[in-house]
Every structure is written in C-alpha cells, then in structure tokens.
Amino acid sequence: MKKILNILLGVLMAITVVLMVYAIATGGSDASISVNLMWGYFLFVFAVAAAIFCAVFGMIQNPAGIKGTILSLALIIVIVGVSYFYSAGHTVNIVDLQNNGFFGHGETVITETSILVTYVACVAAFVTAVATEIWGAFK
C-alpha cells in the first residue's frame, strides 16, 4: 500500500512540475493559467476527499473516538455559524478600487466570517499550547 501511495505522490508531483514548466514557458498565457487553476482545484478536492475518507475510515477502525470527532465537528459548526450570523448582522464597507465603489454585502460577510474563524482558531491554538505547557509542568 505504501508503494502505491509513493507512486501516486510521484505522479501528482510530476504533473504539477510539468504544468508549472508549461506556464513559465508560455509566459503565463491564459490557457496555461487556466490549466494550472483547474489542476489546483482538482488537487484541493482530492485532498479534501482524502481527508474525509481517512477520518471516516479511522472512525470505523476505532469507534471509541467517534464521540470526540462528533464534538469537534459540532464545535466547528457552531464557531462558523456564530461568525457568519455576526458578520451578516451588520454592514462593513470594503473599498473596491477596481470599480470605484464598495463590495457587496455577500462578499463582505464571507470575508468577515473567514477572518473571525481565523481569529478563533489562532486564539484556540495559543490557549491550547499554553494550557498544555502548564499541564505538563504540574505532571
């Protein structure tokens, strides 16, 4: 199995290098940029599918961890939901320099939601690191 994964990784890397060389050789033509974007989207979808598959497979192999996984998923949904509803509750004017105006409400809601979720993730990572160090000191 590991050999198959190594071959798959090598093939994906080779395709990526070939597409990068193609984009550089053509001087960043629209066709090469389009192909590279499509390849990037494919890799992103493949990575998400692999992560979901591995998570589900891991839960099947170790059913004891299902409770923690469901709680983590619920917490993520709550954080994203609260951030979205907070962002949708007010208007933020972000200047659109290209069109000499402001971005629409939908774009600003998505942007602010992403920023708030990032802030929460950074604070959670910091608090977790500090709590882990303090917990380790008392052990």
Count of beta carbons in the 10 Å neighbourhood of residue 116: 17
Q: Name every residue whose Cβ is closer than 8 Å to that of residue 117 and which is 6 or more positions away in sequence.
A: 79, 80, 83
pTM given for the model = 0.59
Share of the chain above pLDDT 70, in %: 100
pLDDT, position 90 = 83
φ/ψ bin of 104: left (φ > 0), alpha (ψ from -120 to 50), beta (otherwise): beta
pLDDT tens, position by position, 62-100: 888 788 888 888 999 999 999 999 998 888 888 888 888
Q: How high is the pLDDT of residue 116?
A: 94
Mean of pLDDT over the chain: 90
Q: Which residues contact 39 (CB under 8 A, 6 or more apart)?
A: 15, 16, 19
